[in-house]
Amino acid sequence: MPRSLDPRPTSPVRIQADWRRIGRAARRVALIAGAVPLVAGAAVMVTDKIRGQRYPLDSKFPTAPPTSTDIDGTTATLYTYGADLYDAMLEAIDHAQHTVFLESYIWKGDQTGERFKQAIADAVARGVEVYVIYDAFANLVVPRSFFHFPPQVHVLRFPALRAGLLTLNVRRSGRDHRKILVVDEETAFVGGYNIGEEYATKWRDTHLRLQGRAAWELQNAFVDFWNRWRSAKHPVLQDKGAAHWQPSLRAARNAPSDLVFPIRGLYLDAIDRATSHVYITQAYFIPDRDILQALLAAAARGVDVRVLVPERSNHSLADWLARGRYTKLLRGGVRIMLYEGAMVHAKTATIDGRWSTVGTANIDRLSLTGNYEINLEIVDNGLASTLEEVFRMDESNSRELTYDEWTERSPLTKIAERILEPLEPLL
């Protein structure tokens, strides 16, 4: 007769062993699932680095001379070429009589970096109070000795390692991505330009100089950041308040450690108001769901929405993640212009010939929720007109990506885009 089935229940020991096996298997699957996009991302970056060495982004590109606009008593000057900007910044430092506040995300130890370092040394030698902020992580490749200034210079090194780095918490690991110069409380600069030889002539970027009362906007931003992050060895900077309110020109400052993110709201509000056109120039364009929907809604109501980005940037992974938005954007009527032959690093937008922004923030998760950033919001027809001319100039060095061209990309490219999607929270 056949043996009867054993009616006894499975032992607790066996059940525990089975669950341990299931747990180990689940961990292996999770590890593999997490490793695949990381390995793919590394492969993309290595491949693009090799490609970048063979085909460097060093083509010449159109630029415009510095152009000034009066905004309620403040002269706003737009710069589109690094060499012009650096000359103006160094001239301002050379003529400083009282104070110099300089904050830079990247400060290269090359010839251009040395020019700024010497200007700082000369300023303190003639009695000017100089305060410098730089991001340690962004300058890891720069010798630490480069940032040895005369002892009279007050230097704040934003730390390379922050608490949220190991847990990938962007709000507690983001960088000081701002680029600010304020001289004598009267002249101030802000925009996308870091300090370095390459940026002087090989990158297309945009910076704005303010001369007059609105320079307070950038001075106040520097003072607040300094006092927030200074150590006991650093002096406290006095917040003097604003003698003049200028609602047509305001600074929006992201402070992630304090959960303050006005720049994202600035974009959303302006895009929602658009009735004619939206022109956006971005180095790294990875909009979140709300900004993406705002752009699509604007296009759906007949607004001419154009986004100008580098065809190939200096951060290949950002390029791949940005392309994950292209299908929806193109299908929804948003026009994508690809800047050719050089790196466009500007962070600007202008809407309906009235509203504009120039600053340091990219439209991506890292800038809008992780980094310390600053953008000027300007409501002025004159500056908007100038930025529209700059946008058309950049379009002359771009080609339009069509929906038909995009849908015909290779199946392998589409697969790579899907594999890399999990890396999006990092950017």
Q: How many other CB atoms are found less than 10 A from the CB of residue 234?
A: 14
Tell me which of 2-11, 279-288, 334-343 is least confident. Answer: 2-11
Of the two residues 11 and 411, the one the predictor is more confident about is 411
What number is the average pLDDT over the span 410-421? Answer: 74
Please report the DSSP string for 131-191 in residue order: EEEEETTTTTTS-GGGG---TTSEEEEE-SS-TTTTTT-GGGT--B---EEEETTTEEEEE
* CA dist., res. 177 & res. 256, Å (int): 12
What local confidence, expressed as pLDDT, does residue 427 receive?
Answer: 58
Domains 67-246 and 258-426 share a fold: yes
Give CATH superfamily name and number for 258-426: Endonuclease Chain A (3.30.870.10)
Q: How many other CB atoms are found less than 10 A from the CB of residue 416?
A: 16
**Is pLDDT above 90 for 264?**
yes
Give CATH superfamily name and number for 67-246: Endonuclease Chain A (3.30.870.10)
Q: Using CB atoms within 10 A of its CB, is residue 337 exposed (0-12), middle (13-18) or buried (19+)?
A: buried
**Is pLDDT above 60 for 237?**
yes
Q: How many other CB atoms are found less than 10 A from the CB of residue 124?
A: 18
Confidence tier at 405 by pLDDT (50, 70, 90): very high
Confidence tier at 381 by pLDDT (50, 70, 90): very high
* CA dist., res. 36 & res. 52, Å (int): 24
How far, CA to CA in Å, does 316 sit from each of 41, 321, 348? Answer: 9, 9, 21
Question: Which residue type occupies 279?
Answer: Y
Domain boundaries, the chain: 16-55, 67-246, 258-426
Of the two residues 412 and 370, the one the predictor is more confident about is 370
* CA dist., res. 341 & res. 245, Å (int): 42
| CA-based radius of gyration for the chain | 25
What number is the average pLDDT over the span 220-248? Answer: 94
**Is pLDDT above 70 for 53?**
no
Average predicted confidence (pLDDT) for the chain? 90
Confidence tier at 321 by pLDDT (50, 70, 90): confident
Of the two residues 247 and 169, the one the predictor is more confident about is 247
Confidence tier at 318 by pLDDT (50, 70, 90): confident
What number is the average pLDDT over the span 17-21? Answer: 67
* CA dist., res. 117 & res. 90, Å (int): 10
Confidence tier at 47 by pLDDT (50, 70, 90): low
